[in-house]
Amino acid sequence: MDNIIEINNLTFSYMDKIVFDKLNLNIKKGTFTTIIGENDSGKTTLVKILTGILKYDGNIKINNLNLEKKDIKEIRNIIGYIPYDITDSILADTVLEELNLSNNKLTKDEFEKLIEEFELKNLLNRDPRSLSGGEKQLMSIASQLVKKPQILILDDAFQMISNLTTDKILKILKKYHKITNMTIINVTNDTEQIIYGDMLAILSNGKIIVNDLKENIITNEKLFKSLNLKLPFMADLSLKLKYYNLINKLELDIDKMVNKLWK
């Protein structure tokens, strides 16, 4: 499987603070990677670098293109980017118009299914500026999916959405990922979101300290504790149940775990 993103020796400083010190990270095409780290670990800075907003030192390739000025337009055409707050970037007067500002590559049926899944059907004629924070975030994610990007980058995109809705949308994204082979990068400090992806990268002290299948990392209690990160609930529960021989392997799906215990 080819790398769709290659970051080599990334260095970036803000004023007198070194944010990244020769950071290296490869992301394979078609994977769903969660990048986590403590607050102020540089997660949003990394996203802004990958989307061409910030200049940097080092070498970055996206889809075999060097991340530099002459190729930035082509790179941005394959990336869907959802920031924490889109309020300042809203351009249209209705939600429907905002959704169609991107190059809509969905069929009519696909588009109607998308707005239904994201619970936007009753909001289409609303002024997007009047929406709640959570509704804006849902609109923002949907507006990027309509253009069928090769890479979808989410930067704390669920902060203003309830846990139940976050669970629903991440499951929808997981489905899109499997159907379209879209590469998804979910950058967050919420370790509960780890379970939806297949890869996990942890950012600390300006470097990626681990990048592997989530199953190989998610039960490493010592690692999470040393980084002041909380184990996801299902991983913690699995460890406890495995200790008492109630299950024999990691189980991150609550329904499957209940079925195992019931039997």
Q: What is the distance in angstroms between the CA of the first residue and the CA of the last residue of the chain?
A: 38
Q: What is the pLDDT of residue 150?
A: 95
Q: How far is CA 222 from CA 71, 82, 140, 228, in A?
A: 42, 32, 36, 10
- List per-residue pLDDT tens for the chain, 263 residues long: 699 999 999 999 988 889 999 999 999 999 999 999 888 889 999 999 999 999 999 999 999 999 987 788 899 899 999 998 888 888 899 999 999 887 788 899 999 999 999 999 999 999 999 999 999 999 999 999 999 999 999 999 999 999 999 999 999 999 989 999 999 999 999 999 999 999 999 999 889 999 999 999 998 999 999 998 999 999 999 999 988 888 888 888 888 888 888 87
Strand partners, 241: none
The four Cα atoms 145, 67, 199, 144 give a dihedral, to 10 degrees, of: -10
Q: What is the pLDDT of residue 125?
A: 95
Q: What is the pLDDT of residue 92?
A: 92
With contact defined as beta carbons under 8 Å apart, do 10 and 60 qualify? yes
- Helix, strand or coil for residue 168? helix
Q: What is the pLDDT of residue 1?
A: 62
The angle, 0 to 180 degrees and rounded to 10, between the axes of the packed helices 163-180 and 133-145 is 0
With contact defined as beta carbons under 8 Å apart, do 147 and 105 qualify? yes
Phi, psi of 81 (to 5 degrees): -125, 125
Q: What is the pLDDT of residue 243?
A: 86
Annotated domain spans of the chain: 1-78+152-158+183-216
Q: Which superfamily is assigned to 1-78+152-158+183-216 in CATH?
A: P-loop containing nucleotide triphosphate hydrolases (3.40.50.300)
With contact defined as beta carbons under 8 Å apart, do 29 and 1 qualify? yes
Q: What is the pLDDT of residue 114?
A: 94
* Distance from C-alpha of 261 to C-alpha of 263, rounded to nearest angstrom: 5
DSSP per-residue codes, 171-221:
HHHHHHHHHH--EEEEEES-GGGGGGSSEEEEEETTEEEEEEEGGGTTT-H
Q: How many residues does the chain have?
A: 263
